[in-house]
Amino acid sequence: MNMLWQQVKMELKLFIRERQTVFWTFFFPAFLIIIFGYVFNQPESIRFTIGFVDEDTSVESHRIYGELSRVNALFVEPLMRFEAEDLLRRNEIGSVVYIKEGYADSLKQGRAQIHLLYHPAQQQLNDLVRLMLDKIVLAENSAYLDTQLPITLTQQKIEADRGAVSFLDFLVPGLIGFSLMSTCLFSIGVVVVAYREKGKLRRLAVTPLPKWKFIAGQILARYVIVLAQATMLIGMAVFLFDV
């Protein structure tokens, strides 16, 4: 056991002395958790910009603008018609909600229209905006009906509990699994090949060190490394992002 322990200590020392290997094993995955955690783990940080052209400038058209502005995922930018079309052609903006002049008057007559302009490359964004508009139009139509609707749709906001799945709940296990694979599988193979190329295996063959202890030392040394690595990653995820 003393011989095996000395083999493990030797492998750990060789690992620590390789600064590049230490960086890719510990600092790089920690860097990924911090970057992805702060950027993508905050839903309010991801917002899509859409344009809003209001040629009617009425209370009714402004109400549509206000409802769209309440959507957390959207940033609604008021634009002129020529500005909106220019931005759409250059694909600098994905969708534009366009309300023509006379919207308020036509609304009372039951033939109002809201136009949605979009760039072909922004189909997913357009689908999101269309979904929001459908909800707003449904509410507007209901307000102009004289009769009581037979079915009432209610909404209730449910706060996310501790067990809710977040982006980091997928990222952290993935990083740990990737680290296990690269550190345990590839690094041992690379080390053995490097030992062979440098003639170290030939020298070890004339020592009292059995081959199984050499392999066991490699495995145990990597096991200690990945335990420390997984502990670090899980600790960062728990304390920094409440995973």
E strand residue ranges, 20-143: 48-54, 74-78, 95-99, 115-118
* Residue corresponding to tokens 């502990």: 231
Phi, psi of 96 (to 5 degrees): -135, 130
Average pLDDT over residues 118-134: 79
pLDDT in tens, 189-236: 888 888 888 888 888 888 888 888 888 888 898 889 889 989 998 998
Q: How far is residue 74 from each of residues 15, 43, 183, measured CA to CA in Å? A: 49, 12, 42
* Residue corresponding to tokens 């670090």: 232
Question: What percentage of the chain reaches a pLDDT higher than 70?
Answer: 86
- In one letter, which amino acid is 150? P
pLDDT in tens, 20-79: 778 878 888 888 888 877 776 655 555 778 889 999 888 888 988 888 888 877 889 999
CA 170 remoteness from chain centre: 9
pLDDT in tens, 146-173: 544 343 333 443 344 444 456 777 788 8
Phi, psi of 46 (to 5 degrees): -100, 105
Nearest CA-CA partner of 240 in 29, 42, 33: 33
pLDDT in tens, 7-29: 888 888 888 888 877 887 888 88
d(CA 204, CA 218): 14
The conformation of residue 70, written as its DSSP 8-state character, comes to: T
Contact 222/183 with Cβ under 8 angstroms?
yes
3-state SS, one letter per residue, for 109-136 = CCCCCCEEEECHHHHHHHHHHHHHHHHH
* Residue corresponding to tokens 């390789």: 18
Nearest CA-CA partner of 47 in 68, 65, 32, 78: 68
Average pLDDT value over all residues in the chain: 79
Whether 144 has a pLDDT exceeding 70, the answer reads: no
Average pLDDT over residues 112-120: 83
Cα 94–Cα 168–Cα 226 angle in degrees, nearest 5:
140
d(CA 20, CA 129): 47
